[in-house]
Amino acid sequence: MYNNNEKDQEEIFDNPKNTSAKVIGYLPWYRFSQNDKIEYCKLTHLNIAFANPESDGTIMLPNNSSGITLQNIISTAKSKNNEIKIYISLAGGGIGSEALERWKNFLTNSQDRSVLVNKIISFVIDNNLDGVDVDLEWEAVTQGYSDFVIELKSALTSKGKGMTAAFPGTTRFNNITNEALETFDFINLMVYDFTGPWNPTASGQHSSYDNAIKSINYWKNTVGISGSKLTLGVPFYGYDFTNSSNVTSFTFGQMVSLNSSYSELDNVGSKFYNGRPTIKSKVKLAGEQVSGIMIWELGQDSFSEYSLLKTIHSEYKNLGFKTTELCLD
C-alpha cells in the first residue's frame, strides 16, 4: 500500500463548503470542430487528447479535417478563461499497435527515455502549455513507466509545468511504483467503461454511482492516495446494448437531441448512460471525497440548457464550491 500523510489536506473534505474544486475536461483532436460551442469558462483544466511520439520522439497530434488547430483551441480557451490550465494528454487507451511499440521502445532504456522527455518538454514549451497528462494504459504501462514519469516530472518542474495521470477506477498497474505515484500533481480516475462492446453480454450501466464509490474507496483506502490528489471521472457518453452482436457507443448530446426528457434518465431501453441527476449526485460525492470532476469528453455534451458541463458547474456552485467563477450561469 502507498500511504501519504496528508491528514490536514484530507480534513478539507470533511467540511467542503467554500472550498475550490477542479473541473477537468478532455477534448480529443477529432472534436476540435466543437471549439466554438464549448464553455471554457466552466473548466479549470483542459486536456488535449491524444498526442504520441513519432519514431524520433517528436510529439504529434493527429490532423483533423476541421482545419482547427491546437493553437486555435488554446487561443479560444484562453480568451474565454485566462486562468484555464491547458495540458497535452499523452497516449490514450485506444492507441494503435505502432504507437504502442514506440512507447515501449522509448521507455525501455534511459537514453531513449531522455530523448522522449526532451521532445515532450519542447512540445509543451513551443505550444505554451501548462503541463502534461500521462494516459498510458494497460499493456502500454511497461517496466520503464515509473522511471519515465519520474524523469518527466523533474523536467516539467524545472520549467514550472504540471503533471497529472489518468488511471482506471479500480486498477493500479503493476509497473507503477510508489515513487512514481507521488510524482503526479493529481490523478484523474476513469470511472467508466466497467462494461462495453468488449463484453456484449454484460448489458447495463458502464458508469454507475456505485462504480464511483468503489473507485474512490479503492484509490483512497487500498492504494492510499489522498482525496486531495484525486478527481472523479464522469462520462458524457453511453453504450447501446440493444444488439448484443454490435454494441455501440453514443453521446449524451445525441440522446438529448432525440428527446430532451432523456437528459433526466440513465437509460432508455438498452441504452445506458449518465443523465443529469446522476451527474449531480456524482458532483456531490466528489465534493465530499475528492478534489474535482474529470470529463470524458467535452465534445459529447448537449450544447443546450441540458448540458452536463452546465450541470456540473451549477451543482458545484449550489454546493458552495468555487470552480472558475467566470461564467454568469
Does pLDDT of 5 surpass 90? no
The predicted model scores a pTM of 0.94
Beta bridge partners, 226, equal none
Quick: pLDDT tens for 150-161: 999 999 999 999
Does pLDDT of 203 surpass 90? yes
Does pLDDT of 250 surpass 70? yes
Q: In which band, very low, low, confident or very high, does the pLDDT at 14 lie, cut at 50, 70 and 90? A: very low
Per the structure block, which three cell numbers stand in for 309?
Answer: 458541463
**Cα–Cα distance, 326 to 42 (Å, whole number):** 7
Q: In which band, very low, low, confident or very high, does the pLDDT at 15 lie, cut at 50, 70 and 90? A: very low
**Cα–Cα distance, 271 to 268 (Å, whole number):** 5
Does pLDDT of 92 surpass 80? yes
Element (H, E) at 115: helix 110-126
What is the spatial order of strands in the sheet that 237-240 belongs to?
248-251, 237-240, 271-272, 267-268
**Cα–Cα distance, 193 to 125 (Å, whole number):** 33
Note the pLDDT of residue 11.
Answer: 39
Which residues lie below 8 Å from residue 216, measured CB to CB, with a gap of 6+? 189, 227, 230, 232, 285, 289, 290
pLDDT > 70: percent of the chain: 94
Per the structure block, which three cell numbers stand in for 233?
Answer: 471521472
Task: Taking residues 182-210, report their average pLDDT.
Answer: 97
Does pLDDT of 7 surpass 50? no
Is there a contact between 141 and 148 (Cβ–Cβ < 8 Å)? no
Does pLDDT of 313 surpass 60? yes
Quick: pLDDT tens for 28-79: 999 999 999 999 999 999 999 999 999 999 999 998 888 999 999 999 999 9
Does pLDDT of 24 surpass 90? yes
**Cα–Cα distance, 269 to 204 (Å, whole number):** 10
Other beta carbons less than 10 A from residue 207's beta carbon: 28
Helix (H, G, I), strand (E, B) or coil at 36: helix
Nearest-Å Rg of the Cα atoms of the chain is 19
What is the DSSP secondary structure assignment for residue 322, as one 8-state letter? B
**Cα–Cα distance, 324 to 22 (Å, whole number):** 9
Q: How far is CA 317 from CA 91, 302, 323, in A?
A: 33, 20, 8
**Cα–Cα distance, 122 to 174 (Å, whole number):** 30
Residue from 303, 249, 302 nearest 272 by CA: 249
Note the pLDDT of residue 325.
Answer: 79
Quick: pLDDT tens for 126-147: 999 999 999 999 999 999 999 9
**Cα–Cα distance, 254 to 256 (Å, whole number):** 6
Q: In which band, very low, low, confident or very high, does the pLDDT at 207 lie, cut at 50, 70 and 90? A: very high
How far is CA 144 from its chain centroid? 23
Note the pLDDT of residue 329.
Answer: 72
